[in-house]
Amino acid sequence: MSNVVSFPTVRRIQAASISRAEFERLADLALDVVDQIVAILEAPNGDTDLEPRADAEPSLGSTEGYENQVVWLRGGDRDF
């Protein structure tokens, strides 16, 4: 098989133990980053509660209201 590309093996890095306080600090930092990302993504759209109709948002985010996921996967004409 001449078309197989082999990648060099990477030396494994041993996991280090961290204190509970350090873990909580890192978890809080991760949550802050997620909050900032969500704020950036929502900024262009404004408040979703101010849509003219309740169904004004695209249906890609939820399978609710469909009999199965195949119908949801096909989407509709309002999806991006």
- pLDDT for the residue numbered 41: 80
If one compares 51 and 12, the residue with the highest pLDDT of the two is 12
* Mean pLDDT for all residues in the chain: 76
Domain presence at residue 38: yes
Domain presence at residue 4: no
Question: Structurally, how many domains does the chain consist of?
Answer: 1
Q: How far apart are CA 80 and CA 78, in angstroms?
A: 7
Domain presence at residue 68: yes
Q: By residue range, what is the domain housing residue 38?
A: 20-74
Q: Model's pTM, two decimal places?
A: 0.42
% of the chain with per-residue pLDDT over 70: 54
Six-digit token string for 36: 């900032």
**Structural contact between residues 76 and 59, judged by C-beta atoms closer than 8 angstroms:** yes
Q: Does position 1 have pLDDT exceeding 60, yes or no? A: no
* Mean pLDDT of all residues in 3-15: 81
- pLDDT for the residue numbered 20: 96
Domain presence at residue 34: yes
